[in-house]
Amino acid sequence: MSAGLSHITFICTDLDRMQTVLEQVLEARCVYASGDAQYSLSEERFLMVGDVWIAIMKGEALRERTYNHVAFKVDEDAFDARVARIEALGLEMRPPRPRVEGEGRSVYFHSPDGHLLELHTGTLGERLARYAKGREGVA
């Protein structure tokens, strides 16, 4: 069995722009920038979002968008302010998907290079408990 998540890497055309998105929306903090000291495939930066290590590397944008995404936990009381930050950065948000009451709130948005990110207020335990109740209350 794996010990858990090590890191998430996003390939980006503009590292400054992606770093701004991560800092503004996720309150990430940059802990490393390779600059001219390239140790990997391209210039890279490491940021921390809570205990999650996010690597961003210089490269080509995604060619197409999919529903593949990474979801980040946010507190309910911070949700609306985070959505306002996404809007202030001019990032494209996807229309919400149908939800059942009690599984948490979400907003899905695309990074400048097409990566789909989600902010979510719920937990796995809350979602499983809600799904166990059945299909009543589908919105």
**What's the Cα-to-Cα distance from 101 to each of 5, 130, 134, 137, rounded to whole Å?**
29, 8, 11, 6
Query: Catalytic residue numbers?
Result: 44
- Encoding tokens for residue 59? 């490269």
Return the biggest CA–CA distance within the chain: 56
Tokens 């149908």: give the residue.
98
